[in-house]
Structure 1
Amino acid sequence: MHKNKILVVEDEESLLKLESILLSSKGYNVTGVMDGRSALEEIAANPPDLVILDIMLPELDGFEVCRHIKEDPATKGIPVVMLTAKKNSQDYARGMEMGADAYITKPFKSAKVIETIEGLLNK
């Protein structure tokens, strides 16, 4: 069985570990990076099946990373789930404008994240 590859982009180490453990326990092959530039490098070198993306990141923020993913013909089909503490409607609208496939706010419920991922991967 093919294990879906998920790239988790999160600058807070404890959350990166938590998200990685959660996804690994559900059978996903998880890679984690802690900044936007590393995310784009990892996507170019080893394209994932889905990206979980924080917005507040060092160097390039999540909005910029999402825009890069969605503007590149080679990666535009990769679903992007924004997982962020930014809860206001302008941030949500900007995430959707940049091409995010889903927008989940922290603190998040694990079941909601898994349900969203499964929905996007099984399209």
Structure 2
Amino acid sequence: MKKAIHVLEDDADISELIAFLLAESGYEASIFNNIASFKQHGGKSVPALLIIDIMLPDGNGLDICNAWKTDPATKHIPILLMSAYDDYRHDVRASKANGFISKPFDIEVFMDEVGRQLGA
């Protein structure tokens, strides 16, 4: 059975690239372009990994991360945060995220980090 990964990313090009990379590596990716759609659809299933962009059109990805990490039902799920702004590294360290990916990202580094979070 394929491991499910939820991706919360508002940039269509980045979402498409991530979906392609994950599918090519045998994962099942669900892409959400804003927090509202994620809460409506993504919260109904528990993924093996959650990848969240920090700056979203309708909120802050750090809030989603911290909500999932404080919920007993989802706190065990690894979360990778992404941002084009390295200034967020400090905020990520203060959050409960399992890792940070700086955009633009190297594809091999990205996939290595996904594998590391999933224990592959």
TM-score (normalizing by structure 1): 0.90
Task: Give 1:43 shift.
Answer: 3.9
- Equivalent residue, structure 2, for 1:107: 104
- Equivalent residue, structure 2, for 1:40: 39
Q: Aligned partners of 1:42, 1:111: CA distance in 2, in Å?
A: 29
Structure 1 segments of 4 or more deviating over 4 A?
none
* CA displacement, residues 55-104 of structure 1 (integer Å, 9 cap, x when unaligned): 1102221111111111111111111111210112xx11211222110101
- Equivalent residue, structure 2, for 1:71: 70
Q: Is the 8 A contact 1:39 1:65 kept in 2?
A: no
1:48-87 mapped onto 2 (5 Å cutoff)? 48-87=47-86
**Which structure has more strand as a fraction of its residues?**
2
* CA displacement, residues 13-48 of structure 1 (integer Å, 9 cap, x when unaligned): 111111100111111000000112332343420111
- Distance change (3 Å), C-alpha of 1:104 and 1:8: same
* 3-state SS in 2 of match to 1:75: coil
Identity across the alignment (%): 30
Give 1:66's aligned amino acid: C
- Equivalent residue, structure 2, for 1:25: 24
RMSD over aligned CA atoms reads 1.4
Instruction: Give ranges in structure 2 of 5+ residues lacking alignment.
Output: none
Instruction: Give ranges in structure 1 of 5+ residues lacking alignment.
Output: none
Q: Aligned partners of 1:75, 1:92: CA distance in 2, in Å?
A: 23
TM-score (normalizing by structure 2): 0.92
* 3-state SS in 2 of match to 1:27: coil
* 3-state SS in 1 of match to 2:90: helix
